[in-house]
Amino acid sequence: MSEHLAQLHGQKRGRSGGHAAPHEPIFVDATRAELEQLFTRYPTKAACLLPALWIVQRLRGWISEPAMGEVADVLGLTPAYVKGVVTFYTMYHTHPVGRHFIQVCTTSPCGLCGAEDTLRALLEATGCRELGATSPDGRFTVSEVECLGACGFPTPIMVDDDFIESVTPDRIGEILKRYA
Amino acid sequence: MGFPHPSHPKETVVLSKHFGDAGARSYQGWVERGGYVGLRQALGMTPDEVTNAVKESGLRGRGGAGFPTGLKWSFMPKNSGKSHYLVCNADESEPGTFKDREIMRWTPHALIEGCAIASYAIGAETCYIYIRGEFTEPLRIMQDAVAEAYANGALGGNVLGSGKRIEMVLHRGAGAYICGEETGLMNSLEGKRGNPRIKPPFPAQAGVFGMPTTVNNVETLAAVPHIIVRGAAWHKGLVLGNPKSTGTKLISVCGHVQRPGNYEITLGFPMKELIFDLAGGMREGRTLKAVIPGGSSVPIMNAAEVEDCPTDYENIQAHGSMLGSGGMIVMDDSTDMVYQIWRLARFYAHESCAQCTQCREGTAWTTKVLERILAGKGKPEDLDLLLDLSENMTGKTICVLSDSCAAPVVSGIQKFKSEFEAYISKARKPAMVGV
């Protein structure tokens, strides 16, 4: 992109997004080295897309469009292709979420054992109130998830990368305390 | 054993012997428990001898399809000059199934050893283990175990001094049920959307990265070292029902039972004993109403069908369903079948990759019709509409996701029709509002 066009894009972003900060490159220094390491494990660069997106989410909390553009750039893909992949998978966030992201399994086996009560209690206790919403203090986002693969331990939930089994409404207060 | 419960005397404990035993997680701990003997032994055989042993054992795919494992391996080309790949399907996401998770959490080296043996048999120098994104703990444990296996020479450029190269890469999924379908998984591994591929070509001809590939489930691969060490005849002799169903199977029992958990049975074990004896039976004062025996994608069985059904591939099929992944969802008499079938349909509608019209439209339409029924706004012709939709969703798409949605709907209407009719005739209070 020529410098002139880049400026135009910058201005446009400034107008529509208000205070949108310019994209800080992600794949530099140690993160670039991590990516180079990934390249050795697959016969194509494209195969590093899911791992690269995990790196972005780990460092930035979510995957913005400029970040998708950067991933496309480092892997030799197009931004549209990367966006198509990002949006296929439920675990990649395409918008900012609360400091702690909670996923509650409500699929049939857990549903039979009271998962919907657990979900309602979590929405209430976190202050999120609505599925996919972030609590007013920015602390939590609560989402429903399809089968977490721990059906013998209803209800399993995930808080960020922590997998917690056998969650019942009465345990929620104690669990949330662990996450500031 | 029925982790987290103690082993039941009626179980045949092979794969689950060390569940709950954290000492089995380390390389040294695994070796002390008899680990890596099978790999060493296999490396002393020819790849064809290994494949034949697995063929003779009668081992069948434990992920759901039940395809003979040795036969699948034998489809791999010989001297193709191409890179061969083994892909381990650790995307366990079939509702009701939670066995592969325990294999990876407690016995990671059993899986690594099985993968190494399979890689050797099919001539693969690289094995990818595709682990679903939500399995953060199994992933951490597997990462440690793979690093230890490399450090001890069980993986890498000279596996146990044999001169053979086997590399292992753990690949994390990102949340998509359909990536448990082997061709969807391969696309996902290549960095694409997890859309299943049209077959043929089958993976053995053109799999991941266009190369000859074998995809096996975690439990299948974990069983392989035992077959090498104890012999094909031992495995073949583990039969209680149909002789085509051999070996042990982890059955994940969940839902309305007293002791949900993973129970390891010899195939052919009576389903009724599994539910009432091993898993502790129904909750206090409740009776059995229905069982989905093989993960949510198979037809629902009613209590009468469970009564005399041996738990194996052929017998469950003869009783109107399928063994599938062995994820057994048990429902008691308090269960609203219409609501549960709706919840399953919603699952499939959410997970459809949307490539095929029958699936994309069919799963969503089915869900909406069921919602209408649950809201007390169903029409008498809705049941025929659901059956018609299901017929159009069966056997007409690239993969079987839409068939899986149709299975509980059709069997549910056949076996629990009066519950649907009760909503439609308004004899039953609506379970949903605002639809």
Element (H, E) at A14: helix A3-17
Q: How confident is the model at residue B2 (pLDDT cuts 50, 70, 90)?
A: confident
Q: What is the pLDDT of residue B433?
A: 82
What CA–CA distance (Å, rounded) separates B156 from B169?
11
Q: What is the 8-class DSSP label of residue B277?
A: I
Residues of B in contact with A54 (CB under 8 A): 172, 174
From B212, B236, B260, the end of a domain falls on B236
Determine, for residues B254 and A44 on separate chains, whether the beta-carbon distance falls below 8 Å. no
Residues of A in contact with B350 (CB under 8 A): 146
Give per-residue pLDDT as tens, A92-136: 999 999 999 999 999 999 999 999 999 999 999 999 999 999 999
Proportion of chain B above pLDDT 90, given as a percent: 97
How far CA A54 is from CA of A34, A51, A57, A149, in Å, comes to 12, 5, 5, 21
A48 and chain B in contact, CB less than 8 A: yes
Determine, for residues B347 and A161 on separate chains, whether the beta-carbon distance falls below 8 Å. no
B19 and chain A in contact, CB less than 8 A: no
Q: Count of domains in chain B?
A: 2
Question: Looking at the domain assignment, is residue B11 inside a domain?
Answer: no
Which of B406, B401, B377 lies closest to B391, judged by CA?
B406
> Which residues form the domain of B381?
337-424
Question: Looking at the domain assignment, is residue B189 inside a domain?
Answer: yes
Question: Looking at the domain assignment, is residue B28 inside a domain?
Answer: no
Q: First and final CA of chain A: distance in angstroms?
A: 43
Domain extents in chain A: 22-86, 100-177
Element (H, E) at B113: helix B108-122
Whether residue B92 is found in the same domain as residue B217: yes
- CATH code (residue B353): 1.20.1440.230
Q: How confident is the model at residue A4 (pLDDT cuts 50, 70, 90)?
A: low
Q: What are the helix and strand counts (H, E) for chain A? A: 8, 4
Q: What is the 8-class DSSP label of residue B326?
A: -
Proportion of chain B above pLDDT 70, given as a percent: 100
Report the topology of domain A100-177: Glutaredoxin (3.40.30)
Tell me the DSSP string of B9-53: TTS--STTTTTT-GGGGSHHHHHHTTTTHHHHHHHTS-HHHHHHH
Determine, for residues A89 and B176 on separate chains, whether the beta-carbon distance falls below 8 Å. yes
Pairing mode, if any, of strands B167-172 and B126-131?
parallel
Q: How confident is the model at residue A15 (pLDDT cuts 50, 70, 90)?
A: very low
Give the residue on B whose Cα is nearest the Cα of A83.
B193
Question: Looking at the domain assignment, is residue B122 inside a domain?
Answer: yes
What CA–CA distance (Å, rounded) separates B228 from B226?
5
Whether residue B222 is found in the same domain as residue B351: no
A149 and chain B in contact, CB less than 8 A: yes
Q: How confident is the model at residue A1 (pLDDT cuts 50, 70, 90)?
A: very low
Whether residue B220 is found in the same domain as residue B86: yes
Q: How far, in whole angstroms, is CA B400 from its chain's centroid?
A: 14
From B185, B219, B236, the end of a domain falls on B236
What CA–CA distance (Å, rounded) separates B133 from A147?
12
pLDDT at A5 over 60: no
The answer to whether B210 touches B189, Cβ cutoff 8 Å, is no
Common-topology check for domains A22-86 and A100-177: no
Q: What is the pLDDT of residue B152?
A: 98
* Complex-level ipTM: 0.95
pLDDT at B62 over 80: yes
Give per-residue pLDDT as tens, B89-136: 999 999 999 999 999 999 999 999 999 999 999 999 999 999 999 999
**Predicted TM-score (pTM) of this structure:** 0.95
Quick one: chain B helix, strand, coil %, rounded to 5?
45, 15, 40
Q: What is the pLDDT of residue A12?
A: 45
CATH 1.10.10.1590 for domain A22-86, yes or no, is: yes
Q: What is the mean pLDDT of chain B?
A: 97
From B236, B268, B293, the end of a domain falls on B236
Determine, for residues A88 and B193 on separate chains, whether the beta-carbon distance falls below 8 Å. yes
A37 and chain B in contact, CB less than 8 A: no
